Amino acid sequence: MSEDDITILDDVILRRVRSRKKKKFVNITSRLYYYQGNFYWAVSPLPEELGRVRGAIRRWKKENIQRVDTDRAHPDYKTVVQQLDEQFAEVDARG
């Protein structure tokens, strides 16, 4: 599996905040990236950003299908849900 994460979009808008000093809106942004077979981005981008995020994933996946297939076929591959389940199991075990 690939060891480095790959940034697909680095300007996913999470929210717009009004700047008091400049009297205009400032965007708070996050990034969309690929790492070991999964795509990660902030949980709550603006609704109008979701289409752009999904389109970027679709295009990147189409251009890099060999990498995605190889990463997902690896025996150590885990979906995001499986990763979260493991993290929560560790927290529960600690009490």
Give, rounded to a whole angstrom, the gap between the first and last alpha carbons of the chain: 33
pTM over 0.75: yes
Q: Which residue has the higher pLDDT, 26 or 22?
A: 26
Domain ranges for the chain, please list them. Answer: 6-94
Q: Which two tokens stand for residue 4?
A: 């480095």
**Residue pair 31/12 in contact by the 8 Å Cβ criterion:** yes
Q: Kindly list the distances between the CA atom of residue 7 and the CA atoms of 28, 30, 40, 88, in Å, as whole numbers in the listed order.
A: 17, 11, 10, 27
CA distances from 35 to 19, 49, 50, 71, 89 (A): 34, 21, 19, 9, 22
**Separation between Cα atoms, residue 26 and residue 7, nearest integer Å:** 22
pLDDT at 93 over 80: no
